[in-house]
Structure 1
Amino acid sequence: MSDASPQTHCIRRAAWIIGWDADRGGHVYLRDGDVAWQGDRLIQVGGSYDGTVDTEMDGSRRLVMPGLINIHCHPTQTPIYRGFVEEYGNPRLFFNGRQDFRQSFIQDEAALRASARYALAEMATNGITTIFDLSHAYPGWLDLLDQSGLRVWVAPMFRSARWWASDGQETLYDWSPDEGAAAFAEAQAVMDAAERHASGRFSAVVAPAQIDTCTQDLLRDAIALSRDTGRVLFTHGAQSYPEFNQLARLHDKTPIGYMDSIGFLGERTVIGHAVFTDRHPWLLWPTRDDLSLLAESGTTVAHCPTVFIRDGTLLHHIGAYMDAGVNVAIGTDTHPQNMLEEIRTAELLARAAAGAQHTSTTARLFHAATAGAARLLGRDDIGRLDVGAKADLVTFDLDHPQMHPLRDPLRAIIHQAAERAIDAVYVDGRRIVSAGRCETIDWDDAARTLDREQKRIAAKAPRLDEIVPLMLPMGA
């Protein structure tokens, strides 16, 4: 066993720091201060660090901010779908879902791994330090996550049925004979392995995949497991017209109301999307209870606007959720796995939906992408730069042209520069991105592999060119 003390690193005189003010309970700007960490913990944020350091970096042309928490992503799926799903949806299902495509584009293990490897490198270079990886279990999953260097809440999804669609205006369900029991058992084994992992960066999530693809018994089993283990509970819910109609028909309740009735909501629960509540102006429903149910139970909403606006739908509006007291976190869900763009999209769509009465701001949504997510996780040591917190941080190059003029650096990042100005990313004090390049996964190689795998899978499904033709015709 080594007796060596952990090394100390310091970014000297950082021009801007997005630090944490415990009295305000929020982020604040600090100027011309040091950011130092020993091992995996911050020991100085702002001011001057006078202790001995092993490595010192000039921060005079850098901004330092906390790493972003991506509360909802699907690494094994979304990168390999690029070029197919951006504008495709089933018009008979309100453009929701891409069942025709997914029924044709069937991934195998090699394709899943190629997609995940690409996505993990992409997220690291985009300033994401913590992710909720919502995937179906596959061999080598934890090894790949370990290689990435990211902090991961491992969420092996399980369900009782898969959805599919015919040409009709209906979502169909193919129910498994055991109603999801085997998938639940497999997921539990992965959760246990994640929590035992030597990296110490993994936690487990109980993740019934969708509220409408799980039997009530399976959902109750998931609730019990979450309660008994203290693990976060996640599902996709209130995410489409067809799902809303299905649950209303079966239970005479909104999806949120149904989840409340079975005890699914709570302080350790995340609902992926929660778009179609009884407050949504596109729905005709007699109650207006859903936001209160979410707020009073302490449930967190994982807000991922890009995937919905592609289908021509949107949440109305995220400021109203926060005004009602709902805890909100931000996720990417789909590609690109870019949280900074997702924050900007969330703010702009909320402004468009709410008009002059909007209450969505850059600061509010940045909080959701950092401390808001950490609140759900029961962690006060991530999503903020504060002494004693984890050394999960991102540095930006202030000389990047997109960072100018630099009156307000957070606005410059969210509304202009995004990931283009990222210089370095650290998780647990370990650098995983340098000069904007991922050091743990070769992203260029991952991109080439992803391209080969997409072509290989697509070649097995000749109808794809009919379902999703190229955007422009081929010339002579």
Structure 2
Amino acid sequence: MTITVIRNADVAIAWNAETKQHEYVAGADIAFEDGKLIFVGQGYAGPAEETLSGSGLMVMPGLVNIHSHPSSEPMNKGFTDEVGTPGLYNSSLYEYLPVFRPDAEAVSDCVRVALSELLLSGVTTVADLSMAHPGWLDLLGESGMRVCIAPMFRSARWYTKNGHVVEYAWDEKAGEKAFAEAMTLIERAEQHESGRLFGMVVPAQIDTCTPQLLKDSKDEAKRRGVSWQIHAAQAVAEFHEITRRHGFTPIQWLHEQELLTDRSIIGHGIFLDDHPLTPWHTKRDLDILAETGTTVAHCPTVFARRGITLKHLGRYKRGGVNVGLGTDTYPHNMLDEMRLAAYLARTQAQDPRSLTTTELFEAATVGGAKALGRDDIGRLAAGCRADFVLVDITHPMMRPARDPLRSLIYAAGDRALKAVYVDGTKVVEDGEVLTMDYRQAALHVHEAQQRAEARVPELDWAHRPAEKIAPPTFLWR
């Protein structure tokens, strides 16, 4: 196999196995072969069939995104930027999520748009939480990314008939059937010719799944040796629903059912028993998450749009909770998500020291990798997959580059990304995705949104047109 060496990079963010931390290495060489890193450090003296200059570059590990919905979210741009149901604590889940949906024709283009945006922001591994759709696996293989396929299933769908009460339409047999189909998809993903797909078991939401479906799905995840993720503690209405049904908070009820382990991921995990919007008579939730090794998938943007946020990320980290990051919504820009996560954590704590950039980057790399059960991604070290990002540290927005990672996250963002590699193959170069036609897919999503807008009145409980639910910024003439 061909050995490629990036020679004398200005800086690399390398993994120190002894300290179990990332560190800056100046004048670094990075060698890789057959999709795997074989050397990260200074003074590589081995063979090299191809040599690339690292001058002016920072090499960093590819980012790991553990919670994303590529098949639907790109089309919501312009629809859900400012909506939230007042009678349901400003959540957009129950009233608006069901009415702004792409049709079957649009799904593949939504996926291409989301994955392109993720690649362009340095993500090399993503967990795709979607409902199963035709051609899904081949589409993910086409992207060139490393993808954790996470087909969602549930026993009920939620809806509202008045904007202040959430109701559930239960079909337990359909949930069991979707669960079985999801397991078949995971098996097919792990056998995919790309070699970059792997699986995760995902019962969709805590309030839409029967206790038996949750137990069966967790048992199956353990049997297969894969992670298990569920949306929980993501809405005030859901918190109240679970306490009404079971007398426990969402986190405590999952714990009572023995569903929380070091391979469990809570999608969002915002509304704990000590959150200001959901005060409970206990103060145990944070400790439960830490003691069980459960990961929280933190996705700040989608909630910040509704005036909602975690209280606060630094507190979770200090409490011993493993945290990974995700892009639950558009734009699928992981660097933007990281910046917002830091700012929200510090404003909520009223303390600029509450969350360090070190902790933030760990969440976006090794924290996410740990949640997915992977020790070969999210870090630059010999033996790991050759998933990495080249950052142009000569870019004006990276200057001054006293601390290049801070310059990237808090200033330059994706504008400074030079190239992205997955399994040693270049998939992004100079702002262009090499595996998919991002521009054409974005055009198709634009057209699909117009089709979806026409269907909104028939899907909405009050039969309102889209412009009534989500008025434009200015009147059109």
- 2:364 aligns with one of 350, 364, 369: 369
Q: Check whether the contact 2:29–2:39 (CA below 8 A) recurs between aligned residues.
A: yes
Report how many residues are paired: 470
Name the amino acid aligned to 2:476.
M
**In 2, Cα distance between the equivalents of 1:177 and 1:47?**
58
**In 2, Cα distance between the equivalents of 1:176 and 1:363?**
45
Question: 2:4: which partner in 1?
Answer: 9
**In 2, Cα distance between the equivalents of 1:22 and 1:98?**
42
- 1:136 aligns with one of 131, 136, 143: 131
Deviation string 1:254-312 (CA, Å, 9 cap, x unpaired) is: 00001001111001110000000012123221111111111111111001111111111
Question: 2:166: which partner in 1?
Answer: 171
**In 1, Cα distance between the equivalents of 2:100 and 2:327?**
22
> Which stretch has the larger CA shift, 263-272 or 42-51?
42-51
Q: Check whether the contact 2:79–2:100 (CA below 8 A) recurs between aligned residues.
A: no
CA drift of 1:177 comes to 5.2
Q: Check whether the contact 1:8–1:36 (CA below 8 A) recurs between aligned residues.
A: yes
**In 1, Cα distance between the equivalents of 2:371 and 2:129?**
16
Q: Check whether the contact 2:66–2:372 (CA below 8 A) recurs between aligned residues.
A: no
Question: 2:59: which partner in 1?
Answer: 64
Q: Check whether the contact 1:208–1:219 (CA below 8 A) recurs between aligned residues.
A: yes
- 1:184 aligns with one of 179, 187, 195: 179
> Which stretch has the larger CA shift, 93-102 or 283-292?
93-102
State the secondary structure of the residue aligned to 1:220.
Answer: helix
Question: 2:460: which partner in 1?
Answer: none
Question: 2:280: which partner in 1?
Answer: 285
Name the amino acid aligned to 1:28.
E
**In 1, Cα distance between the equivalents of 2:374 and 2:213?**
28
State the secondary structure of the residue aligned to 1:331.
Answer: strand
Question: 1:54: which partner in 2?
Answer: 49
**In 2, Cα distance between the equivalents of 1:315 and 1:420?**
28
- 2:223 aligns with one of 224, 228, 247: 228
Unaligned runs of 5+ in 2: 458-464
- Does 1:355 find its partner at 2:350? yes
**In 2, Cα distance between the equivalents of 1:65 and 1:262?**
40
- Does 1:268 find its partner at 2:268? no
Question: 1:3: which partner in 2?
Answer: none
Q: Check whether the contact 2:116–2:433 (CA below 8 A) recurs between aligned residues.
A: yes
State TM-score, norm by structure 1: 0.96
> Which stretch has the larger CA shift, 330-339 or 349-358?
349-358
- Does 1:446 find its partner at 2:441? yes
Name the amino acid aligned to 2:139.
L
Structure 1 residues 322 and 259, CA gap change in structure 2 (3 angstroms): same
CA drift of 1:359 comes to 2.3
State the secondary structure of the residue aligned to 2:351.
Answer: helix
- Does 1:468 find its partner at 2:470? yes
Matches within 5 A, 1:7-406: 7-176=2-171, 178=173, 180-356=175-351, 358-406=353-401
CA drift of 1:108 comes to 2.2
Q: Check whether the contact 2:4–2:50 (CA below 8 A) recurs between aligned residues.
A: yes
CA drift of 1:358 comes to 4.8
Q: Check whether the contact 1:179–1:215 (CA below 8 A) recurs between aligned residues.
A: no
CA drift of 1:165 comes to 1.5
Name the amino acid aligned to 2:434.
E
State the secondary structure of the residue aligned to 1:203.
Answer: strand
Q: CA RMSD in A?
A: 1.3
> Which stretch has the larger CA shift, 13-22 or 100-109?
100-109
Identity %: 45
Q: Check whether the contact 2:239–2:278 (CA below 8 A) recurs between aligned residues.
A: no
State the secondary structure of the residue aligned to 1:461.
Answer: helix
**In 2, Cα distance between the equivalents of 1:333 and 1:143?**
22
State the secondary structure of the residue aligned to 2:28.
Answer: strand
- Does 1:435 find its partner at 2:437? no
CA drift of 1:239 comes to 0.5
Deviation string 1:316-345 (CA, Å, 9 cap, x unpaired) is: 011111111111111111111111111111
> Which stretch has the larger CA shift, 455-464 or 425-434?
455-464
Q: Check whether the contact 1:19–1:65 (CA below 8 A) recurs between aligned residues.
A: yes
Unaligned runs of 5+ in 1: 1-5
Name the amino acid aligned to 2:102.
Q
CA drift of 1:154 comes to 0.5
CA drift of 1:101 comes to 3.1
Q: Check whether the contact 2:66–2:368 (CA below 8 A) recurs between aligned residues.
A: yes
Question: 2:452: which partner in 1?
Answer: 457
State the secondary structure of the residue aligned to 1:20.
Answer: strand
Q: Check whether the contact 1:223–1:263 (CA below 8 A) recurs between aligned residues.
A: no
Name the amino acid aligned to 2:466.
L
